[in-house]
Homo-oligomer: A and B are copies of this chain.
Amino acid sequence: MSLVRVHNFSISLDGFGAGEGQQLDAPFSHAGSRLMEWAIGTRTFREMGMPGESEPSFGVDDAFASRTGPGVGAEIMGRNKFGPQRGPWKDEEWKGWWGDNPVFHTPVIVLTHHPRPVLEMEGGTTFHFVDADPVAALDQARTLAGDLDIRIGGGVRTVRQFLEADLIDHLHLVLVPIVLGRGERLWEGLEGLEQSFDVEATPSPSGVIHLVFTRRKAR
> What is A's interface to B at a CB cutoff of 8 Å?
13-15, 175, 177-182, 185, 187, 189-194, 199, 201-203, 207, 209, 211
Contact = CB atoms under 8 A, between A and B. Distances in A.
A202 B177 CA distance: 13
Nearest to A204: B201
Nearest to A203: B201
A104 to B, nearest CB: 29
- Report whether over half of chain A's contact residues are helix, strand or loop; otherwise say mixed: loop
A192 B179 contact: yes
A176 to B, nearest CB: 9
Q: For the complex formed by this chain, how many copies does it contain in all?
A: 2
A71 to B, nearest CB: 26
B177 A211 contact: yes
A209 B202 CA distance: 9
10 contacts: A175-B175, A178-B194, A179-B190, A179-B191, A181-B191, A199-B207, A201-B203, A201-B209, A202-B203, A209-B209
A8 B81 CA distance: 38
Contact of A190 (B181, B187, B193, B207): B181
A175 to B, nearest CB: 8
